[in-house]
Amino acid sequence: MSKTFFSEFSTPQHKDIVVGIITSDDFHYDILQPLFKEYGYGFTDMNTGIIYIDGEAGLDRDELKWVEAHEAAHIISGSLDERETDLLAHQLLLEKGYHRSAELVMSNLGRHAEMD
């Protein structure tokens, strides 16, 4: 079942970052599935501040937080540069105590093209 919530990585300047974990029982999944195939586990609509995460990708909690923080970092920084975004995601994860997720960021730094 899909779920939607406000990201804990929101900032005072970006208070309304919304995360949608979309599963196959959601009618949106068929529309979003090609985008997940193109962009990977998640992507951000920079215009709306909505993060979409593939709920059928089999991600564990640490991986979900990694994807959420990475996509939130795109919104916060306004950058499309993946390395810059990863570094900010690493910082955000450490600040919230997600050390395992932060390790995932660093172990996959610069490998987005391979994951997508």
So what's the pLDDT on residue 9? 97
77-101 pLDDT, tens digit per residue, is: 999 999 999 999 999 999 999 999 9
pLDDT of residue 113 exceeding 50, the answer is no
Mean pLDDT of 4-30: 95
So what's the pLDDT on residue 112? 60
Q: What totals of helices (H) and strands (E) does the chain contain, helices first?
A: 5, 4
Cβ-proximal residues to 78 (8 Å cutoff; 6+ apart), any chain = 46
For residue 98, what are the domain limits? Answer: 3-115
Summary mean pLDDT of the chain: 93
CA distance 21 to 55: 5
CATH of residue 63's domain is: 3.30.2010
24/114: higher pLDDT: 24
Structurally, the chain folds into a number of domains equal to 1
